[in-house]
């Protein structure tokens, strides 16, 4: 728990056994894969913050510009005394734009899998906003978990899911994920979700293959984490970052490629890699406005409104439980 009445911390993070089991299972498949949620250890979270500042990586600055421009409109739709629940809160930069615009929010709940970054960023926000009750929950928000009690004046629960992380789910998983959150938010619950728009492949390929190599470091860091936490012996010089836009599927695909025939040991399990063999680490789906609204409707939400930037790079969707 936290240090005072305005800030509390709840640790519901996956155990080390969950991480080990997912890695061993994923590397044992054909084709091999690793869950992208395990990117976000302390180093991975720091690398992602650097990616967000890259000139090629338009997503973060574009979404921030949308929130800046339309914060008053969003706040008017939310109304007073809301419980704002952010999924994948990271450094909690974007949510500050909303919190400044909202009418007397009753709670801000930050949910993230990266424990130390979550604790630091939520505590900093609580210190900066002494009148706001801040709750930090370290959890895998892609799986069911309990929210702590959020008492106070009447106000709706509003999920905030920025950053286009919804694109990491397969479309059928999007429907299930949103359906689960519709149930958790309850009657009158709403969601504000960032989703990347389809666009020219050259823009997307540049965003995930930056010249500074930050995306490569971020992708390969999952191997660094496996070495550190699971006693593995991945040689990072024998693996490479691969990312490209699959236009037919409407998604950017990320992989780690083995540069040679080799065998890697993880927690006593041996895994063989062929030269050029790929480990799939992430998909990032891009959606036209109508495509995303259709998925939200199927999940039990009514699409209320969508905002985009002037260049039609990114979208923010406002959904209401139907």
The total number of structural domains in the chain stands at: 2
Confidence band, pLDDT 50/70/90 cuts, at residue 116: confident
Determine which helix (DSSP H) or strand (DSSP E) holds 8, and give its type and residue range. strand 7-12
User: Is pLDDT at 2 greater than 50 in this prediction?
Assistant: no
For residues 164 and 299, state if they share a domain: yes
Per-residue pLDDT at 1: 39
**Mean per-residue pLDDT over the chain, rounded:** 95
Confidence band, pLDDT 50/70/90 cuts, at residue 4: low
Per-residue pLDDT at 12: 87
Q: pLDDT tens, 290-300?
A: 999 999 999 99
**Token pair in block for residue 3:** 């240090």
User: Is pLDDT at 16 greater than 80 in this prediction?
Assistant: no
For residues 68 and 194, state if they share a domain: yes
For residues 109 and 225, state if they share a domain: no
Per-residue pLDDT at 228: 97
For residues 143 and 121, state if they share a domain: yes
Predicted structure pTM score:
0.93
Span 251-264, average pLDDT: 98
**Domain range for residue 120?**
7-11+57-199+286-321
The DSSP 8-state label assigned to residue 240 in this structure reads E
Per-residue pLDDT at 56: 98
In 3D space, the residue among 257, 254, 250 whose CA is nearest the CA of residue 201 turns out to be 250
For residues 168 and 212, state if they share a domain: no
User: Is pLDDT at 17 greater than 80 in this prediction?
Assistant: no
The more confident residue out of 73 and 93 is: 73
For residues 181 and 310, state if they share a domain: yes
On whether residue 2 sits in a domain, the answer given is no
On whether residue 21 sits in a domain, the answer given is yes
């Amino acid at each position: 728990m936290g240090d005072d009445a305005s800030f509390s911390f709840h640790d519901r993070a996956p155990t080390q056994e969950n991480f080990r089991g997912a890695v061993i299972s994923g590397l044992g498949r054909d084709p091999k894969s690793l869950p992208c949620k395990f990117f976000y250890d302390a180093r991975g979270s720091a690398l992602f913050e650097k990616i967000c500042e890259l000139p090629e990586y338009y997503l973060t600055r574009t979404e921030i510009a949308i929130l800046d421009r339309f914060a008053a409109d969003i706040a008017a739709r939310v109304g007073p005394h809301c419980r704002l629940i952010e999924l994948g809160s990271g450094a909690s930069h974007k949510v500050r734009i909303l919190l400044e615009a909202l009418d007397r929010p009753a709670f801000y709940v930050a949910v993230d899998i990266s424990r130390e970054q979550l604790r630091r960023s939520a505590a900093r926000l609580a210190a900066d906003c002494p009148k706001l009750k801040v709750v930090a929950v370290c959890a895998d928000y892609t799986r069911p978990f309990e929210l702590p009690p959020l008492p106070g004046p009447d106000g709706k629960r509003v999920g905030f899911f920025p950053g286009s992380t919804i694109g990491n789910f397969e479309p059928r998983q999007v429907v299930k994920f949103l359906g689960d959150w519709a149930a958790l938010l309850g009657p009158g619950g709403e969601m504000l979700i960032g989703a990347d728009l389809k666009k020219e492949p050259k823009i997307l390929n540049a965003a995930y293959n930056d010249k500074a190599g930050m995306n490569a470091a971020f992708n390969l860091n999952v191997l660094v984490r496996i070495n550190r936490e699971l006693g593995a012996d991945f040689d990072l010089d024998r693996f490479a970052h691969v990312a490209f836009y699959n236009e037919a599927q409407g998604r950017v695909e990320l992989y780690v490629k083995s540069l040679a025939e080799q065998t890697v040991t993880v927690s006593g399990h041996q895994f063989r890699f062929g030269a050029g063999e790929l480990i799939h680490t992430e998909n990032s789906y891009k959606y036209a406005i109508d495509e995303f609204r259709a998925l939200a409707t199927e999940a039990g939400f009514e699409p209320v409104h969508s905002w985009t930037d002037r260049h039609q790079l990114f979208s923010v969707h406002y959904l209401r439980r139907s």
